[in-house]
Amino acid sequence: MTSPVGLHRVVEPAGVLPQAAWRLDASARIAPNEVRIRVERLNLDAASFRQLWQKHGGDGEKVRAEVLEIVATRGKMQNPVTGSGGMLIGTVEEAGRRSPLGLRVGDRVATLVSLTLTPLAITDGLARWDGRSEQVPCDGYAILFARSIAAVLPADLHPELSLAVLDVCGAPALTARVVADQVARRERAGDSRPVCVAVIGGAGKSGSLSLAAARRAGAARTVGVVPVVAERDALVAAGLASEVVLADARDPVGLSTAVTSALGVPADVTVVCVDVPGCEHGAVLATADGGTVIFFSMATSFAAAALGAEGLAADVTMLVGNGYVPGHAELALGLLRSEPGVRGLFEARLAAD
């Protein structure tokens, strides 16, 4: 019997969901409620790519070989160190008669579910990828389940640009929801204080979108935190934040001081969008009592976040950005189209890659 969440594709260990499985069945034949995608390009998530890049000392050939090994061994792209994967774009090759996704043969789509739970096979040996960027041109196929999510690629945007945006579209959607809730609560309470938002990693993909989303949702002041001068200059030029500051997100006191100095107060909402470990305590310390911290990085240690907040006696709500909010794809693509600063940062990143 075929499961809507893909249990029938789990090879080992038995009884777990596909994301938690060590190995999936990536055979091409689909069940009546599945869809097979001809893959054109993978987008490895930032934390996974960084780990592979650092492990192999920037040797692209070794990175490429390890990605091939992971997919061949596991039947999916799930970095065994970071536990994360990414997403893909491709064309619908076959749709089962009972698939509820509404996809048709020939649709060009981006998957909005992680590669960590998507059965995947690569058939070209990644011959067109040099192992030096997160975006991976390839040939192969992937399987979507009945409970998977995919978006038909918009005709007005380059596929690589769409892929980069859709890879992180959960971040701006959840940021907008949390900020809007904060604004509404203050209005109901007759509290005239402005809602202030800090985005750690503000010049990156999810960070730039989150800054734009926070402003749209009613944040009166925003601060983008970046680690290097080049990112500071790029984010200032983009005009997405009220303030841009330099700080190492792994330095709790330094990060908190930078945010508080820029805003004049701790942030009401802090959004963590960096792909390095060790940023949990600084994010908590930079957030006001009664505020919210949203962790979007796959490098986050949630044990460190919880225990750190406890040890700091910090009365903050901590949310895990799970990548899905209803309407997230449309919101992110809308921000890209309407915010020149966001689009400029994305296009510069793609050109650099």
Q: Average pLDDT of the chain?
A: 94
- With 90 as the cut, is the pLDDT of residue 122 above it? yes
- With 80 as the cut, is the pLDDT of residue 1 above it? no
Q: Compute the half-sphere exposure of residue 110: CA atoms within 13 Å on the CB side of its CA.
A: 25
* Three-state DSSP state, 52: helix
Verify cis geometry, omega within 30 degrees of 0, for the bond prior to 80: no
- With 90 as the cut, is the pLDDT of residue 276 above it? no
pLDDT at res. 323: 81
- Which among 83, 86, 85, 119 is positioned nearest to 11, based on CA atoms? 119
* Residue entry with tokens 């002041």: 221
In eight-state DSSP terms, residue 96 is: -
pLDDT at res. 47: 86
Summarised one tens digit per residue, pLDDT across range 2-20 is 899 999 999 999 999 999 9
Q: Annotate 12-44 with b (16+ C-beta within 10 A) or e (fewer).
A: eeeeeebbebeebebeeebbebbbbbebbbbbb
pLDDT at res. 309: 87
The answer to whether 226 touches 235, Cβ cutoff 8 Å, is: yes
Distance CA 328, CA 174 (A): 8
The DSSP string of 249-272 is: TT-HHHHHHHHHHHHSS-EEEEEE
Summarised one tens digit per residue, pLDDT across range 145-199 is 999 999 999 999 998 899 889 989 999 999 999 999 999 999 999 999 999 999 9
User: What residue ranges do the domains of the chain occupy?
Assistant: 7-153, 169-351
Amino acid letter for position 255:
L
Amino acid letter for position 307:
L
Please count the residues of the chain.
353
Describe the crossing of helices 60-74 and 46-55 by its angle, rounded to 10 degrees.
Answer: 120
Strands 35-44 and 86-95, by their bridges, are antiparallel
Summarised one tens digit per residue, pLDDT across range 204-244 is 999 999 999 999 999 999 999 999 999 999 999 999 999 99
CATH class of 169-351: alpha beta
Summarised one tens digit per residue, pLDDT across range 145-159 is 999 999 999 999 998
Mean pLDDT (whole number) for 320-332: 90
In eight-state DSSP terms, residue 116 is: G
